[in-house]
Structure 1
């Protein structure tokens, strides 16, 4: 039996892949499945726009994850019978003044040097694509392949698809111990019940490092990075945006039902998920500077989530091997801001490992042992 600790998008996607392959699999979630980082995200599939210097080794994985999403969304909708709002209008990044434009041109030149499909726009061309942008927009970049998905819909669909495939979901069930004996995983303790498992997959996001019972030598170096977000309500028949839009200090993600999601902060605040006046003020101010029409929109919701961030900002994927390895223990955590984007490729890589006993060499840079002392 395979036990998965964590019912976020990666944990449930791995579980779904294993269950539909005929495996006995249970997912254990301390709260409601999909209601931590996976619920708090904006659902951007922005492998190109978010590519940063120093992370070139991560880019192929991000691009692969993005390439898999359209088929993943179709399969998920078919398996669950629920909508998964995958949208392919693309992403627009805009500059509001000359300094912004210089920074945007630097990023554009870097992205083009990587062979990424990006288009430089004048301010007028950017406003042709999104007429409600601020009149002072001076330049933009269009990334046609950076799409979006409604992550909350995807989570509801994953829960349904996983259980329909025969998986068992234990919500509001905290794992109190990972059982390890003589260098091998034996199962876990959930509540007062001891559960035997040949394989235990750690997909507990920001909480992965703190799971009781993990030997100190294999605890994944994952910390929480707080992100505050909010949403406004647009008229569904007259939305202010149709693309995902990034502006200085902000990103905005329109949903088909009229929601406009605005984010997001990046804060090293441990496990503090409280909203702050300053965070909300900054998000609204930056968004208003790029899209002035939000001024009169009703405020729908505010929330904060915890991005599970590894020491090098890259995911931790695969079996725990090496001198201090634990047979049967597998990591699928540390996705930072790319958990939604990387869910399909993570699910395929980890489920393939459980089924075949081997990991593709492409995932070697993300193996847990890269952090071994």
Structure 2
């Protein structure tokens, strides 16, 4: 029996990979074809940072997210396990203390510790937090690795809709069936500068727009990202652009001379509590609500959905036959 999956973003690809790895026949469908700019996951930061996410996220995000790095590595993604560095400017020292209180899995660093981890930040931050057990990946390479792994098993991405949908992984497009799904807009930048070298994601805390900078190699960095209550997917605002570039300059002045390679905008799918759901509607199972935790939570969601199919085990995030309001 073939299981038909609609949506080939990070969730659909992860689910297809998990099922195929267990010997389940699958077909994968997406009218956009292979992952690209049309997919929300194309614009992700790729931070596998469950402990940092604990600042605002609920306990399941922290716990389930700890599966992610190992899962991605096992499925061909290049995972860099250098941890996450969290810093704040002197005037925002209270933000760093607050972040420390709300999270676990970190060690405190002084200025010398910051320099030892990231020499290019020497003398810029007197205090920092290091989350050594976190990691990051390049989302586009990770998506390509999943697609290649599926292709090796004879599973391509079909651009036609299946007659029967067993799993719906369309993200925000599934609002036509999930009325309580909302969009949270994110805006991001890709910059290139040969004058900064970072080995791990760096989060700069800020009262208005906290910034994260993720190294992509060869002097390329991803900067993100805003969180705006909107399903709009097409434009960045001047204010957001200014805020992100100003924060990047505050992290290191060389970013002020960086080349802007890309500007990305999309809307993340989220439920009211920003927690994911596996929801059954008739013969279709919906996997959705990853919010900003797509690469972090897709592995656990895929595992739970595969457990449901192969072992009849009910997922902890199952929301069975919920009536829409």
TM-score normalized with structure 1 length: 0.79
Contact 1:121 1:141 in 2 (8 A): yes
Please name the residue that 1:334 is paired with.
289
Counterpart of 1:147 (choices 127, 130, 135) is: 135
Please name the residue that 2:307 is paired with.
352
Structure 1 residue 95 corresponds to structure 2 residue 88: yes
Q: How far apart are the structure 2 equivalents of 1:269 and 1:19?
A: 35
Change (3 A) 1:242 1:44: same
The Cα of 1:142 is off from its aligned counterpart by 0.4
Contact 1:240 1:293 in 2 (8 A): no
SS in 2 for 1:337: coil
* Structure 1 range deviating more: 300-309 or 45-54: 45-54
Q: Deviations for 1:189-241, whole angstroms, at most 9, x for unmatched residues? A: x3xxxx444x611111111122xxx4xxxx25221211111111133xx7421
Q: Deviations for 1:319-343, whole angstroms, at most 9, x for unmatched residues? A: 52xxxx52x3212111001010112
Structure 1 residue 74 corresponds to structure 2 residue 64: no
Larger Rg: 1
Q: How far apart are the structure 2 equivalents of 1:158 and 1:301?
A: 24
Please name the residue that 2:8 is paired with.
7
Structure 1 residue 241 corresponds to structure 2 residue 198: yes
Please name the residue that 1:110 is paired with.
102
Contact 1:41 1:305 in 2 (8 A): no
1:297-336 alignment runs, 5 A limit? 297-317=258-278, 319-320=279-280, 326=282, 328-336=283-291
Change (3 A) 1:205 1:368: farther
Counterpart of 1:50 (choices 50, 53, 56) is: 53
SS in 1 for 2:296: helix
RMSD of aligned residue pairs (Cα, Å): 2.2
Q: Deviations for 1:252-305, whole angstroms, at most 9, x for unmatched residues? A: 000233311111111123233212222211111111111222122222111112
The Cα of 1:6 is off from its aligned counterpart by 0.8
Contact 1:12 1:159 in 2 (8 A): yes
Contact 1:8 1:204 in 2 (8 A): yes
Q: How far apart are the structure 1 equivalents of 2:322 and 2:284?
A: 16
Change (3 A) 1:53 1:231: closer
Q: How far apart are the structure 1 equivalents of 2:75 and 2:123?
A: 40
The Cα of 1:91 is off from its aligned counterpart by 0.5
Structure 1: runs of 5 or more not aligned: 78-83, 174-189
SS in 2 for 1:255: strand
Structure 2: runs of 5 or more not aligned: none
Structure 1 residue 202 corresponds to structure 2 residue 207: no
SS in 2 for 1:48: helix
1:179-194 alignment runs, 5 A limit? 190=161
Change (3 A) 1:59 1:147: same
Counterpart of 1:293 (choices 230, 254, 261) is: 254
Change (3 A) 1:300 1:19: same
The Cα of 1:21 is off from its aligned counterpart by 3.0
Counterpart of 1:225 (choices 172, 184, 195) is: 184
Counterpart of 1:273 (choices 234, 252, 263) is: 234
The Cα of 1:48 is off from its aligned counterpart by 0.6
Contact 1:20 1:166 in 2 (8 A): no
The Cα of 1:59 is off from its aligned counterpart by 2.6
Change (3 A) 1:104 1:23: same
